[in-house]
């Protein structure tokens, strides 16, 4: 008798599926489908997707149903971002990436960088955080992941204060020979009481002649998800 295949890997806990403007990478400004998976392995103070940190309100969905939901929204846009929470905590995420690649989508994966990127298919664009000190999770950075970042991938530092800025600048200097991408983003923190404004961040980037982009979460300026 043939063994029944356990297909748990084809079911994902989904917090949300939506269509919006990509706001936080070198794809910022492009219409994009988003699959927001539920659950995260850490708790950053600046998190703006708290509703996705656990799977309490998540929907369990077969990968085929996730894809159908996106395809039926329109076939002109072939850009999809898999995000979270932390998408890599669910083993089925790799199958989801492969299926979108097979349909010729450009696939972005946004990850907090604490888990290994080793199993992500080469063609997927990885947007990986390097956690700065003010996040409280700088010790969770998985430095081996720099080996899996190629020239199409992106590194993102969320800069909450001067110490974060210096950490990020130093990180780039120290790892200059290992980092294979020039797509590096310094993201401003979106909290009202933030003393380190996007303006200050921009001035520092300019005065230090850093070859990095400033990230401003364009979708929030547009009042979109
Ligand atoms: S890694 Fe991302 S989803 Fe998880 S707590 Fe930090 S900001 Fe939120």
Say how many Å lie between the CA of residue 40 and the centre of ligand 1. Answer: 6
Say how many Å lie between the CA of residue 2 and the centre of ligand 1. Answer: 42
Please state which of the ranges 151-165, 172-186, 191-205 shows the lowest mean pLDDT. Answer: 191-205
3 falls in which pLDDT band (50, 70, 90)?
very low
Atom of ligand 1 nearest to the CA of 43: 5
User: How high is the mean pLDDT of the chain?
Assistant: 93
Q: What is the pLDDT of residues 26-51, one digit of tens each?
A: 999 999 999 999 999 999 998 989 99
Q: Whose CA is nearest to atom 8 of ligand 1?
A: 47
Average pLDDT over residues 100-109: 97
7 falls in which pLDDT band (50, 70, 90)?
low
Ligand 1 neighbours by CB, cut-off 6 Å: 40, 42-44, 47, 49, 53, 84-86, 112
Per-residue model confidence (pLDDT) at position 4:
43
1 falls in which pLDDT band (50, 70, 90)?
very low
Stronger pLDDT, 115 or 190, i.e. the higher one: 115
Q: What is the pLDDT of residues 75-92, one digit of tens each?
A: 899 999 999 999 999 999
Say how many Å lie between the CA of residue 207 and the centre of ligand 1. Answer: 30
Distance CA 48, CA 206 (A): 27
Share of the chain above pLDDT 70, in %: 94
Q: What is the pLDDT of residues 125-161, one digit of tens each?
A: 999 999 999 999 999 999 999 999 999 999 999 999 9
Which of 37, 38, 39, 42 is the pocket-test mutation for ligand 1 (most atoms within 8 Å of CB)?
A: 42
Q: Is the pLDDT of residue 191 over 70?
A: no
CATH number of 8-221: 3.20.20.70
Residue with the two structure tokens 């089925």: 92
Q: Is the pTM above the cut of 0.85? A: yes
| Domain boundaries defined on the chain | 8-221
Distance CA 37, CA 26 (A): 22
Per-residue model confidence (pLDDT) at position 55:
92
């Amino acid at each position: 008798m043939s063994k029944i295949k356990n297909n748990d890997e084809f079911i994902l806990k989904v917090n949300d599926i939506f269509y919006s403007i990509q706001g936080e990478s070198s794809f910022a400004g492009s219409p994009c489908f988003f699959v927001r998976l539920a659950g995260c392995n850490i708790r950053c103070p600046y998190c703006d997707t708290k509703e996705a940190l656990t799977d309490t309100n998540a929907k369990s969905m077969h990968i085929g149903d996730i894809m159908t939901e996106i395809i039926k929204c329109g076939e002109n846009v072939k850009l999809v971002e898999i995000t979270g929470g932390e998408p890599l905590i669910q083993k089925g995420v790799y199958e989801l990436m492969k299926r979108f690649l097979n349909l010729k989508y450009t696939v972005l994966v946004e990850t907090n960088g604490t888990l290994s990127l080793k199993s992500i298919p080469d063609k997927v664009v990885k947007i990986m955080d390097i956690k700065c000190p003010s996040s409280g999770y700088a010790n969770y950075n998985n430095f081996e992941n720099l080996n899996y970042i190629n020239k199409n991938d992106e590194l993102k530092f969320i800069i909450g204060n001067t110490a974060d800025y210096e950490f990020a600048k130093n990180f780039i200097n120290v790892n200059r020979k290992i980092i294979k991408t020039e797509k590096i983003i310094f993201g401003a923190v979106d909290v009202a009481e933030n003393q380190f404004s996007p303006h200050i961040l921009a001035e520092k980037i300019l005065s230090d002649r850093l070859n990095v982009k400033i990230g401003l979460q364009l979708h929030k300026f547009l009042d979109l998800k």
